[in-house]
Structures are given as structure tokens and as C-alpha cells.
Amino acid sequence: MPLPAEVIERIDEWMNDAVASEPDVPDAMQLATVGPDGRPTLRTVLLKQWSEDGLLFYTNYTSRKAQQLDATGFATVLLHWKSRERQLIIEGRVERATAAESDAYFASRPRGSQVGAWASLQSQSLPDRQTLVERVEAVEDQYEGAPVPRPAHWGGYRLLPDRVEFWQGMPSRLHVRDVHTDGDDGWTAETLYP
């Protein structure tokens, strides 16, 4: 089910606070996935959009993270704002964003990032740095004087939350943990011991 309005409002409030108070990259989130061997992996991606329909982030579809997302269909993300003593943990299913969403976001990226999406064989072995430099130069030459189109191997994922935890740090480690869970009877809310 879509996220309840009160959860979206609280995410909006926390994100706005983070933008105002965090010194760097308030939209950075850690993305946890699991490989076919059951081993978890973790990396940082950027949260680009959130709404009642979920959270959007973008990547190379041939990357290790994308392969794991496609294989399992689940992920967990963590946004941590140290200056506010806050964490937002969101778990759920993932699905690929629409081509139109991916096209629109790709068109808004800086040209260097667009070129990099073509040049990088993300998560594959790179023999030396010069190889990457040459791939970037080749893509720049190919699209000189023209827009860089979105490669088919690059696009977005939407995390469809079924569990959202708001963690607020408090003195004496008496933290506040408010959890919203989507179950058979819709969304429920509870507070957990810290």
C-alpha cells in the first residue's frame, strides 16, 4: 500500500531539516542488498525523489547492486543525519522505474555524469585508469555537439516501503524509535524500546 500521509509528512520534515543542517549530501543513503550467496552488501546512493509511491534512486543496471536488486526484489536503505541525531530506515520491495522517469532524471544530470554513465562498466574489473579515461574521451567525441541520450543499461529503481523506522537520538541512550509497518490490515504504527 502507498505510504500513509503522516509518514510522508515526517519524511518531508526530516529531509527539509537535513537540507538545512547537514553540511554535505543530505540525500545520501546507504543501500543494503543481498547476493545469491546470502551475503549482504552495502553502498551509498543518492535519494532523488520520495512520495507515497516510494523512494527513487538511479544506477547502472549491470552493476552488482542492480543484479542483486533484480534477483531478490528487496532492499533496505538508511539515511543518517549525524547533526540531527536521526536515522531513517526503510525496507521493502524494489522495482525498476519507468523509462520516462529514468529519461527525465538522466536529462537533468550534468553532462559529465551522463558521459560517465556510458563510459563506466560499473562493477566490472578495470585494468588501469587510462582505460576509463579513454572510454570517457570516446563517448565525449561520439556525442560532441549533441545531447547525450540515456543508455539502456542505466536507470532508476523505486523502493516500495513496507517498513519505515524513524530513529531519534536522545540523552542517556533513551532514543525514540517509531516504526510504521504495512501488513495485511494496512499500515500500523508502534514505538519500540531503544
Q: Are 158 and 3 in contact (CB under 8 A)?
A: no
Grid cell at residue 95: 522495482
Rounded to an integer, what distance in angstroms lies between the CA atom of residue 131 and that of residue 129?
A: 5
Q: Are 51 and 43 in contact (CB under 8 A)?
A: no
Rounded to an integer, what distance in angstroms lies between the CA atom of residue 85 and that of residue 87?
A: 7
Grid cell at residue 108: 537533468
Give CA angle at 142 (152, 120), nearest 5°: 50
Q: Which of 157, 165, 167 shows the shortest CA–CA distance to 188?
A: 165
Give CA angle at 45 (39, 49), nearest 5°: 125
Give catalytic residues, as residue numbers: 173
Q: Which of 27, 30, 155, 178 shows the shortest CA–CA distance to 97?
A: 155
Grid cell at residue 139: 563517448
